[in-house]
Amino acid sequence: MSHNSFGHLFRVTTWGESHGPALGCVVDGCPPGIRFRLEEIQSYMDKRKPGQSRFVTQRREDDIVKVLSGVMLDEDGETMITTGTPVSMLIENTDQRSKDYGEIARRYRPGHADFAYDAKYGIRDYRGGGRSSARETAARVAAGALARKVLPDVTIRAALTQIGKHKINRDNWDWGQVDNNPFFCPDAAMVPVWEDYLDTIRKAGSSIGAVIEVVAENVPAGLGAPIYGKLDQDIASLLMSINAVKGVEIGEGFASAELSGEENADEMRMGNDGHPLFLSNHAGGVLGGISTGQPIVARFAVKPTSSILTERQSIDADGNNVDVRTKGRHDPCVGIRAAPIGEAMVACALADHFLRDRGQTGRTR
């Protein structure tokens, strides 16, 4: 069952609410002998954590991750080595302002999960969105950091390609730019445009959507599985599990509807290194659910944060019509912080499929 778990051989279970004492994850099935330093995990946490710029929520969380099990310290007293048993990681919540949420305890914020949770469970931790809060994604990033260690040769990077109507110029794509601006933007020319645009949105107490692209390079051919364990299916599933995501694409995605078979076919020639050379990558690195050795390319669309200062019509838990205006500290573009989360989900999907493939075929690739 997968209410709060995903993956099979690299299996991640997350727990915790936005305003409880802590949140965390348990990673079961991690191979033994994987070496990492806590600061490596932490560096990914820091990319996601709030308060990094004026364009994301001002909640202050250090998001310090603790590893509670599944590792031995190496003789240097610093390097952790996985033992093959479950790795439990915990992140304390420190900057909770639960009273910010008192007035929405019984009011359903439009676009939020409030009504749906009440419809399902009849009870809801309304403080900060409870379990539906994007704070849960901190645990994903911790798990993803470990997943990267399972696949040391694979590079997984994400970038924003669109905020509102403002799309990057793909000809300007430079991965080196991504860490030089608060938007994970690969197009330096777009940065000032997004800055101005988001300042306007932020000051208006409004919000806007975004598109994020994740690229995994150096993925060996042969990962994935027909028919319901397709690599692209599992990546799509995990990206879709991120808060506020409404669409997922692999390779050409929706644009493939307009392509002819001739245009879409990724032709091949034999490469000098004994591996096939693909002449294009419309497929996004996956055919028949199995990786081809080309870069895996996935994209996902994030809707605008539902927490806005403008009043919206709604109802409350007692069935009254009410108008709701969401105070609190929110992201004007929640898509920005989704970039490291998208990377984490792709990393977990790849680690899981790497182990699954190794189990079935015995190849280490």
Q: In the window 156-195, what residues touch a copy of itself (CB under 8 A)?
A: 162-165
Q: Quick one: CA dihedral 119, 120, 123, 126, positive or negative?
A: negative
Q: Quick one: CA dihedral 121, 123, 128, 131, positive or negative?
A: negative
> Cβ closer to a copy of itself: 234 or 343?
234
**DSSP 8-state secondary structure symbol assigned to residue 42:** H
How far apart are alpha carbons 102 and 130 in whole angstroms?
13
Q: Residue 291's closest CA among 246, 356, 212, 338? A: 356
Is 264 annotated to bind a ligand? Reply is: no
Is 307 annotated to bind a ligand? Reply is: yes
Asked if residue 131 binds a copy of itself (CB under 8 A), the reply is yes
How far apart are alpha carbons 76 and 299 in whole angstroms?
40
Asked if residue 208 binds a copy of itself (CB under 8 A), the reply is yes
Asked if residue 295 binds a copy of itself (CB under 8 A), the reply is no
Q: Residue 315's closest CA among 98, 97, 118, 123? A: 118
Q: Which region, judged by CB under 8 A, interacts with a copy of itself, from 94-102, 179-187, 189-197, 222-230? A: 222-230
- What minimum distance in Å lies between the beta carbon of 186 and a copy of itself? 16
Number of residues binding to a copy of itself, judged by CB under 8 A: 152
Q: Which region, judged by CB under 8 A, interacts with a copy of itself, from 52-60, 172-180, 336-344, 354-362? A: 354-362
Compute the C-alpha angle 22/349/181, nearest 5°: 70
Q: Are 237 and 245 in contact (CB under 8 A)?
A: no
Binding residue for a copy of itself (CB under 8 A) from 96, 168, 314, 346?
314
Plot region of 36 (φ>0 → left; ψ -120 to 50 → alpha; else → beta):
beta
Is 304 annotated to bind a ligand? Reply is: yes
Is 303 annotated to bind a ligand? Reply is: yes
Is 364 annotated to bind a ligand? Reply is: no
- What minimum distance in Å lies between the beta carbon of 326 and a copy of itself? 9
Binding residue for a copy of itself (CB under 8 A) from 52, 191, 303, 328?
303
Query: Which segments are annotated as binding site?
Result: 48, 54, 131-133, 243-244, 288, 303-307, 329
Binding-site residue ranges for FMN:
131-133, 243-244, 288, 303-307, 329
